[in-house]
Structure 1
Amino acid sequence: MNIAVNGRSKTTRTLGWHWLAVSIVGFALVLSGCDKHEEAAAAAPKGVLRIAIGNENTFEYMYADYFAAKFPELEVQIIPTEGIYGPGKKPLQELTKLIDQEKPDLLFTSSFDYEKLASQGKLYDLSALMEKDRFDLDNLLPAAVDYLRIKGQGSIYGLAPKFSSSVLFYNKELFDRYHIPYPTDQMTWADMFRLAQRFPAEGGKGERVYGFHMGYMSSPQDLADYIGQAQGLGMIDAEGKKLLMQTDSWKRIYQLVMDGYRSGVLQWNYMPGKTRYEKEDVEAEDLFSIGRTAMTISNEGQLNALRQRGAAFEWGMVGTPSADPGHTRNPNFYLSPIYSINAQAEHVKSAWEVIKYFNGAEAARIEAKTSNDLPVRKAFAHEMDGHSLEPFYQVKYEETVQGGYNENVPGTFIEKYRSIAKQQVDAMLTGEVTVEQGLQRIQEQGQQALDEAYAAEVK
């Protein structure tokens, strides 16, 4: 297969593992006769398909073999999107400009890009195409379909074959050792913290067992921000002009977190400026896999970590805590990538055939054999070491959960705000200020920093 990159043709390299992937695809094609409902045999698309994706290597590594087996007569032209990122650049504006100038047919979008591009009329409504080909939405994860519809303001402008979410992992052996009841679904954050506080503070450095630990958090502020996002709270208003930290809701969250860390049952590792994590750093950030914390909140990657580190203890999973019982809010739910068609695409039919295939049963079957990702098609979700993945599939999408990335906020503000917040969080932990006083200072100093960041942009 030839891949043309910005008009320059290049023949893909044939690597050993490529042949394995092609063989798997070919095997699946033989077995896929029963999947004609949605992947029915239209004539294989021919001609050119322009794809906007990170770069040629990304496409070759992730998709080239599938295209070679399933779409051999398509000439793929890669339009690199890696250049939209960089100092001083606003990625969404750069992506929009790239779409207008380069006119790709097929887009691989992030959750944030999908919403914004759809609202700007840059994406093709897939409704008529799905209806015509009777594409099966009923067997997709409802949260994924809800997400795509909500972000598309009622229409679906893309499809995603996999998702990521998080659950509460717990160490059964630690709970049994201390005669503490296991965590359950639909716990509140306060319920989870009370469970964590029942674990005794014993053991020296390198041996201490904690009630709860969540990796890659540089300070208690990160956990407070995570809980706030899970409750749908924003730190800044929709326009990006006003800080919203001095509220009763944020006060309750910070009080809960401060009490937890002061009691010693919660733990975090602070490694300022750390950009490269060695083996020992990763282990320090994943106390759960080495049996030193009773609970953690993590995504599907934790499953691989447990396997790779040879965790010998019994463990389980339940849904993540929420602000109130009965809700299944999850700030870690997202779809990536989302396959979309440019509203001005020249080759809509070919782009749709590609989207239909990668989001269909045949591709899901192949991925289930070769990947540990969570398929949006639940029928192809396999167990992991005897553990059902059902807790990941209990997620529901609620629009209020995702605080979202606000591109309006000046980049220079973020670092300044984190410095202000960390200083006040440290003061809260030591008792130098109360939570209420600390949040008032964060609000006042943070607002001043935000105003100054905007003023600097105008100059």
Structure 2
Amino acid sequence: MNNRKASFRKWTLAAMSAAILIPSLAACTSKSEDDPNNRRTLRIGTMYGSQQDESYFRQQFTDMFELTHDGIDLEIVPAIDYTEQQFEQPNPDQPQPDPVEKVKEIMNGDNPVDVMIIQDPSLLESLIQENLVKQLDTLLKEDKIDTSTFVPAVIDGIKDAGDGSLYALAPTYTPSALFYNKKAFSDAGVEVPTGSLTWDDVFNLARRLKTGTGKDTKFGFALNSWGYSNGYYDLQTYAAPLQLKLFDDNAEQMTVNTPQWEKVWTTITDLYKDHILPSNEDLQVDQPQPTDTTIYNPYQGQPFFNGKVAMVIGSYSMINDLEVYNKNYQKFEGAEALDWDVLPVPTFAENPGVSSYVNLSTLAAINAKAANPDDAWEFVKFMNGEEWGKLRSRSSYEMPTLKEFVKPKEGMSYNIDAFTSVKPFLSQNNFKENLMYQERPNLYLIQQLAQIEYDKVMQGQLTVKEALAEMETKGNDLLQKIKLSPKGEIDTSGIFDDVYGGGGPIKY
């Protein structure tokens, strides 16, 4: 009897031990024991999207991986599913989804994403600081992946966000360069520079390249291929790497009435006033009127193509336009072939080698809490590997980050290195500001005020110094009103009176 009791106790203890042990073993056991095909799911997070709209994302990022990795199913998980709000009644007072918090939710939840595709590079630094993404340096070393095979400017730019370490990789990027007309330099007797240029170098060159007056004017430089001034927006893009702010971190005090801001405004507005940069009015002078027999010229409104501008900031895709133009220019009345080349996009002496005209939008990072970290790394490697790089090198608007695929377009010759020598500008300050604008939508009234004061300078109503002083006074008043009413109506009496003919309640 005692032996039977002892045996029963041993059996019970063994069963209890097994019951305790089985979950642990299940957690550590390869899925191949449960699934002979070892199928598993890799969850890919995106900032925005929907199930109904994910086919484009899959074509761009995942189809090739899924095709070559039979055992892995890919699930796309948008942080913000815009279909959820599609049928809601518009309510300006309802808080908008915070993209950072939404990204954190899909990275920290019960079923976290394994990989995060970061389309806003300013988010990366925030995720790094909160330890939400995995450092890749050790993984790269273990797999003997040499980062020197990538475009150094891109790798260094990503490292800037991680204090010298890599927390993400990008298979492509969108660079810009300084396109120049060789004939314009020759006609003006100006030697084409070599190497990297500062903004001051480019502006000095532009003054030397400007010739003629009125309808015969040939301008030295344009900030975009269309030549048209986007007003204050152009100034913001140009000045971004200087990290100047309109207001302090608490959005309570304006920070514009400074020598740094004065220099930026004076530099750009003087170039327009001196007709070194073409204004919108300049480009409207003596525009040819189409007739019934006129052949459509898609480049007519782009002054670099018709020889009106000597230098222009253009994205990588502008090469395709130049190729098409030079193959068809004979069809356009009075058109000439363009003899052109490129130099690196100019940067500031205060922050050399960094530009807001170089963009990253396909950063892939591994979630620090990934349930499937091995497959996540396999995906990031594949996305940034040779097979994928070869396919992406065919893009007409993006450049591959793997150096072996960085080549001039077939049949063309130009300074391809101009597109690889400047780092993208990644600033967490931009992301913090975006969050503040989400919390206080009425802060956009400050941007509106900046545009108005900038226009006053361009129209000769105020000097730069006077405009910045007025912007400081009106902006401080506006910030206090926004603090009390971040989303509701605001009485702008005394702020926009001289523009709109009276103040009154305004809500952005």
For 2:317, which of 288, 296, 301 is the aligned residue?
A: 301
Are 1:63 and 2:61 an aligned pair?
yes
CA contact (8 A) 2:176 2:314 kept: yes
Query: For residues 8-19 of structure 1, what are the structure 2 equivalents within 5 Å?
Result: none
Q: Pick the aligned partner of 2:276 from 265, 278, 293.
A: 265
What corresponds to 2:40 in structure 1?
47
Alpha-carbon contact 2:174-2:397 (below 8 Å) kept: no
Aligned residues of 1:231 and 1:322 also touching (Cα < 8 A) = no
Distance across 1 between alignment mates of 2:143 and 2:251 = 42
Is the alpha carbon distance of 1:75 and 1:113 closer, same or farther for their aligned partners in structure 2, counting shifts above 3 Å?
same
Corresponding position of 2:205: 195
Counterpart residue number, 1:99: 107
What amino acid does structure 1 have at the position aligned with 2:468?
L
| Aligned counterparts of 2:116 and 2:249: Cα–Cα separation in 1 | 27
Cα deviation for residue 238 of structure 1 reads 4.5
* Distance in 2 (alpha carbons) for counterparts of 1:238 and 1:298: 33
Q: What is the DSSP-based 3-state SS (H/G/I as helix, E as strand, rest coil) of the residue aligned with 2:474?
A: helix
Q: Is the 8 A contact 1:125 1:157 kept in 2?
A: yes
What is the alpha-carbon distance in structure 1 between the residues aligned to residue 69 and residue 247 of structure 2? 46
Whole-Å separation in 2 of the counterparts to 1:168 and 1:65: 35
After superposition, the C-alpha distances for 1:132-168 in whole angstroms (9 at most, x for unaligned) are 2122212222232223333123432211112223221
- Structure 2 partner of 1:19: none
Within 2, Cα distance between the matches of 1:257 and 1:407?
25
Q: Tell me if structure 1 keeps the 8 A contact 2:116–2:364.
A: yes
Q: Helix, strand or coil for the counterpart of 1:334?
A: coil
Distance 2:269 2:395 in 1: 43
The partner residue of 1:252 within 263, 268, 273 is: 263
Task: Confirm or deny that 1:391 pairs with 2:418.
Answer: yes
Task: Say which of 132, 143, 156 aligns to 1:146.
Answer: 156
Structure 1 regions of 5+ residues with no counterpart? 1-43, 271-279
**Structure 1 residues 443 and 286: CA distance shift in structure 2, 3 A:** farther
Q: Distance in 2 between matches of 1:45 and 1:291?
A: 62
Judged with a 3 Å threshold, the aligned counterparts in structure 2 of structure 1 residues 67 and 58 are, in CA distance, closer, same or farther, namely: same
Distance 1:113 1:358 in 2: 20
1:228 paired with 2:239, answer yes
State the match for 1:420 in structure 2.
Answer: 449
The Cα of 1:326 is off from its aligned counterpart by 9.7
Deviation at 1:437, TM superposition (A): 0.8
Cα separation, partners in 2 of 1:285 and 1:124, compared to 1, 3 Å? farther
Counterpart CA distance in 2 for 1:326 and 1:456 is 37
Number of the residue aligned with 1:10? none
Instruction: Identify the match of residue 114 of structure 1 among 124, 145, 148.
Output: 124
**Residues 66 and 398 of structure 1: CA distance in aligned 2, closer, same or farther (over 3 Å):** closer
CA distance in 2, matches of 1:387, 1:188: 21
Supply the distance in 1 between the matched residues of 2:463 and 2:351 (Cα, whole angstroms): 32
Most deviating of 252-261 and 141-150 = 141-150
Distance 1:190 1:368, change over 3 A: closer
| 1:59-458 map, 5 Å | 59-83=57-81, 88-101=96-109, 102-110=111-119, 111-198=121-208, 199-202=210-213, 204=215, 209-215=218-224, 218-269=229-280, 283=299, 286-310=302-326, 312-324=337-349, 327-369=352-394, 372-384=397-409, 385-396=412-423, 404-405=430-431, 406-411=433-438, 412-457=441-486
How big is each residue's C-alpha offset from its partner over 1:332-375, in whole Å with a ceiling of 9 and x where there is no partner?
Answer: 23322111112211111111101111112232223224555222
How far apart, in 2, do the equivalents of 1:398 and 1:67 lie? 30
Structure number with greater Rg is: 2
Q: Quick one: which amino acid aligns to residue 353 of structure 2?
A: T
CA distance in 2: counterparts of 1:63 and 1:214, whole angstroms: 32
Structure 2 gaps, min length 5: 1-36, 86-91, 282-295, 330-336, 489-508
Q: 1:132 to 1:70 in 2, by over 3 A?
A: same
Q: CA RMSD in A?
A: 3.1
| Percent of pairs with identical residues | 24
Provide Cα deviations, 1:244-289, integer angstroms capped at 9, x if missing partner.
Answer: 211112211211212111112312449xxxxxxxxx9985774323
Distance in 2, matches of 1:45 and 1:258, equals 64
TM-score (norm 2): 0.71
Q: Distance in 1 between matches of 2:482 and 2:458?
A: 28
Matched-pair contact (CA < 8 Å) for 1:165–1:330: no
Partner SS, residue 124 of structure 1: coil
2:229 and 2:280 in contact (8 A); partners too: yes
1:166–1:330 contact (8 Å) kept in structure 2: no
Matched positions, count: 404
CA 105–224 in structure 1, closer or farther in 2 if over 3 Å, else same = same
| Residues 1:327 and 1:148: Cα distance change in structure 2 (over 3 Å) | closer
Equivalent residue of 1:138, what SS? helix
Three-state SS of the structure 2 residue aligned to 1:78 is strand
SS in 2 for 1:357: helix
Write the letter of the residue equivalent to 2:105: K
Q: Which moved more, 1:314-323 or 1:366-375?
A: 366-375
Q: Secondary structure at the match of 2:486?
A: helix
**Distance of aligned partners of 1:281 and 1:73 in 2 relative to their CA distance in 1, 3 Å threshold:** farther
Give the Cα separation in 2 of the matches to 1:309 and 1:156: 41
Distance in 2 of aligned mates of 1:129 and 1:246? 48
TM-score (norm 1): 0.78
Is the contact made by 1:212 and 1:293 (CA closer than 8 Å) also made in structure 2?
yes
Mapped to 2, the partners of 1:242 and 1:61 lie a distance apart of 47
Contact conserved, 1:52 with 1:81, CA < 8 A, in 2? yes
Distance in 1 between residues matched to 2:160 and 2:76, nearest whole Å: 30
